[in-house]
Amino acid sequence: GAGVSQSPSNKVTEKGKDVELRCDPISGHTALYWYRQSLGQGLEFLIYFQGNSAPDKSGLPSDRFSAERTGGSVSTLTIQRTQQEDSAVYLCASSLGGQGKETQYFGPGTRLLVL
């Protein structure tokens, strides 16, 4: 079956521009996560969506970052007024969203470079 997909795979932008990153989770998965992987910070949690509940935004590094999930499926992570320190790989993961054992499956990531 299809895994988690992300687009674009690579994005180069200029400082100050806005970018949108897209994630398409595994069909039937109600939980969706965004993570960021950078050389200096390792893998960091950004935001978590579970079904129709309000998202957990506790990992977002600043108010320039926002995310939404439409129809309980596709999610978009938006970074406004990008800064060079936003350069990283942005990983999306999804899981069934139940109790107990919950394995998260990751997409291939979007490599963002802010010049």
Partner 1 sequence: AQKITQTQPGMFVQEKEAVTLDCTYDTSDPSYGLFWYKQPSSGEMIFLIYQGSYDQQNATEGRYSLNFQKARKSANLVISASQLGDSAMYFCAMSPDTGRRALTFGSGTRLQVQP
Residue numbers at the binding site for partner 1 (CB under 8 A): 31, 33, 35, 42-43, 45, 48, 50, 56, 58-59, 89, 91, 93, 95, 99-109, 111
- Output the six-digit token pair for 53: 């509940």
Query: Tokens standing for 65?
Result: 């970052």
Q: List, in sequence order, every beta strand (DSSP E) within the chain.
A: 5-7, 10-13, 19-24, 31-38, 42-50, 65-69, 75-79, 88-95, 105-106, 110-114
Tally Cβ neighbours within 10 Å of residue 30. Answer: 17
Tell the smallest beta-carbon distance from residue 91 to partner 1 (Å).
6
Residue (39 or 70) nearer to partner 1, CB: 39
Shortest Å distance, C-beta 75 to partner 1: 14
- Least CB distance to partner 1 at residue 2 (A): 14
Is the Cβ of residue 41 or residue 81 nearer to partner 1 in the bound state?
A: 41
Distances (CA, A) of 46 to 1, 3, 115: 27, 21, 22
- If the CB atoms of residues 79 and 90 are measured against partner 1, the closer one turns out to be 90
Comparing CB distances to partner 1, the nearer of 1 and 14 is: 1
